[in-house]
């Protein structure tokens, strides 16, 4: 068992020996580390509730996928970014199928969002995109990463964002995948002084999703925003692991994840907030809320707060509740169908998260997609 898990990376490496990849020093370093790392499994704390067998069994064939950026950017190998900590970030470094680097110049304020549509299509297709953003001091920019996975395929993406002093970055991640697609996404944000970064993850659909969002506040006066929603149905699985690392004083973070669990779906939320010893005057809020639309759905939620400073304001909490039957009856008693009333209530529920996006185009897209799938009523929110 152990050996099969260790050899998973070798299997993937060997069967993709001739695939085009970026290579370079980063790839070599990643490969040599991975030779000694176990494939993630439920005996590991970070993967306790997340089954990886089906992913490990996949005979994935590396391809560059179809990645459209708007406006278009050049491939920059020198902007390959850093190795990262997690197993899959390193797999991405070792076998990267395409890397984009973009730098927002100092003092530049760009209203039009930069947009990537990352498509992974075709059975066995395996896409490992890597996007490295550097927002220089005092700049303002918006980014959209729109993932579209089809068929029985696998996308293992890495996004690294550096937000320099006084810079503002807004990020929207859309995960709109098919029912046999696997997605792993690692998003790493490093923030400087008085910077602001807000990341909203819209998980619309997909068989299996694991997100690692790691935001580090390295400069005083900075703010990190994290928000996300998931509405899995059928047998879908969505896992959000987040880390907010307050390393310096006078920073704030605000995190809100909401789930609506249908059918036999399963979701995991694990949110860690670290407040380091020096990080006095930190304000950190974290909340994960879930409503269960079915008796068969499962949620494993674990908010964690580790505080080593004494003068801080922090709160965290998670709630998991049944659907509000009183509200449902009230709406039905006024003539709304049971289905329509549920959609209305779910609309109100996820609105709070969708509204955290600062990108109107994304908000409209997400609302439309969810209402077309009968989850919400677009006009209501």
Partner 1 sequence: MIEIKNLQASIGEKQILKGLNLTVKPGEVHAIMGPNGSGKSTLASVLAGREDYEVTGGEVMFNGKNLLELAPEERSREGLFLAFQYPVEIPGVSNMNFLKAAVGEMRKHRGLDPLSAKDFLALVKERSALVELDGQLAHRAVNEGFSGGEKKRNEVFQMAMLEPKLAILDETDSGLDIDALRIVAQGVNAMRSPERSFLVITHYQRLLDYIVPDVVHVLYKGQIVKTGPKELALELEEKGYDWIKETVA
Residues within the interface to partner 1 (CB under 8 A) = 324, 326-327, 329-338, 340-341, 344-345, 347-349, 351-352, 377, 379-381
What's the start-to-end Cα distance of the chain, in Å?
Answer: 49
Query: Cβ(155)–Cβ(125) under 8 Å?
Result: no
Q: Which residue has the tokens 């729109």?
A: 146
If we measure between CA atoms, which residue out of 306, 235, 243, 319 comes closest to residue 277? 306
Q: What is the 3-state secondary structure (H, E, C) of 161-226?
A: EEECCCCEEEEEEEEECCCCCEEEEEEEEEECCCCEEEEEEEEEECCEEEEEEEEEECCCCCEEEE
Return the number of the residue (295 or 311) whose C-beta is nearest partner 1: 295
Smallest distance, partner 1 to C-beta of residue 179, A: 29
Smallest distance, partner 1 to C-beta of residue 319, A: 14
DSSP 46: G
Return the number of the residue (30 or 353) whose C-beta is nearest partner 1: 353
Residue 371, burial from CB neighbour count under 10 angstroms (0-12, 13-18, 19+): middle
Return the number of the residue (42 or 319) whose C-beta is nearest partner 1: 319
Return the number of the residue (268 or 363) whose C-beta is nearest partner 1: 363
Smallest distance, partner 1 to C-beta of residue 321, A: 13
Measured CA to CA, the distance from residue 379 to residue 281 in angstroms comes to: 41
Phi and psi of 20, rounded to 5°? -70, 130
Smallest distance, partner 1 to C-beta of residue 352, A: 7
Residue 25, burial from CB neighbour count under 10 angstroms (0-12, 13-18, 19+): exposed
Return the number of the residue (215 or 331) whose C-beta is nearest partner 1: 331
Smallest distance, partner 1 to C-beta of residue 171, A: 25
Return the number of the residue (104 or 331) whose C-beta is nearest partner 1: 331
Return the number of the residue (71 or 321) whose C-beta is nearest partner 1: 321
Return the number of the residue (163 or 346) whose C-beta is nearest partner 1: 346
Q: Which residues pair with 142 in a beta bridge?
A: 170
Measured CA to CA, the distance from residue 209 to residue 287 in angstroms comes to: 20
Measured CA to CA, the distance from residue 288 to residue 99 in angstroms comes to: 33
Return the number of the residue (292 or 331) whose C-beta is nearest partner 1: 331
Smallest distance, partner 1 to C-beta of residue 225, A: 20
Smallest distance, partner 1 to C-beta of residue 336, A: 6
Smallest distance, partner 1 to C-beta of residue 77, A: 47
Q: Which two tokens stand for residue 128?
A: 């490992």
Smallest distance, partner 1 to C-beta of residue 267, A: 21
Query: Cβ(212)–Cβ(186) under 8 Å?
Result: yes
Q: Positive or negative CA dihedral for 328, 329, 335, 339? A: positive
Q: Over the Cα atoms of the chain, what is R_g?
A: 20
């Amino acid at each position: 068992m152990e050996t099969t898990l260790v050899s998973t990376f070798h299997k993937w490496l060997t069967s993709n020996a001739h695939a085009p990849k970026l290579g370079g020093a980063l790839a070599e370093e990643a490969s040599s580390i991975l030779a000694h790392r176990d494939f993630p499994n439920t005996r590991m704390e970070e993967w306790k509730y997340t089954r990886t067998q089906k992913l490990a069994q996949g005979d994935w064939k590396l391809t560059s996928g179809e990645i459209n950026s708007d406006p278009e950017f050049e491939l920059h190998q020198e902007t390959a970014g850093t190795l990262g900590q997690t197993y899959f970030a390193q797999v991405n470094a070792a076998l990267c199928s395409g890397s984009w680097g973009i730098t927002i110049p100092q003092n530049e304020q760009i209203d039009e969002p930069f947009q990537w549509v990352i498509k992974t299509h075709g059975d066995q297709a395996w896409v490992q995109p890597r996007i490295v953003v550097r927002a220089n001091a005092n700049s303002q920019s918006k980014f959209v990463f729109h993932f579209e996975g089809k068929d029985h395929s696998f996308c293992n993406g890495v996004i690294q964002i550096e937000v320099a002093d006084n810079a503002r970055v807004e990020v929207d991640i859309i995960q709109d995948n098919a029912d046999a697609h696997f997605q792993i996404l690692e998003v790493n944000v490093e923030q400087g002084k008085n910077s602001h970064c807000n990341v909203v993850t819209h998980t619309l659909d997909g068989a299996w999703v694991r997100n690692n969002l790691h935001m580090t506040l390295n400069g005083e006066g900075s703010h990190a925003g994290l928000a996300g929603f998931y509405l899995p149905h059928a047998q879908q699985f969505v896992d959000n692991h987040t880390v907010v690392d307050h390393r310096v004083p006078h920073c704030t973070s605000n995190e809100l994840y909401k789930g609506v669990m249908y059918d036999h779906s399963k979701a995991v939320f694990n949110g860690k907030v670290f407040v380091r010893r020096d990080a006095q005057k930190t304000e950190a809020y974290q909340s994960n809320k879930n409503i269960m639309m079915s008796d068969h759905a499962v949620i494993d939620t674990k908010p964690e707060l580790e505080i080593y400073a004494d003068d801080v304001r922090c709160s965290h909490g998670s709630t998991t509740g049944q659907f509000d039957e009183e509200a449902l009856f009230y709406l039905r008693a006024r003539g709304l169908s049971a289905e329509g009333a549920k959609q209305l209530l779910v609309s109100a529920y996820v609105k709070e998260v969708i509204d955290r996006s600062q990108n109107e185009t994304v908000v409209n897209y997400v609302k439309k997609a969810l209402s077309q799938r009968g989850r919400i009523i677009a006009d209501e929110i």
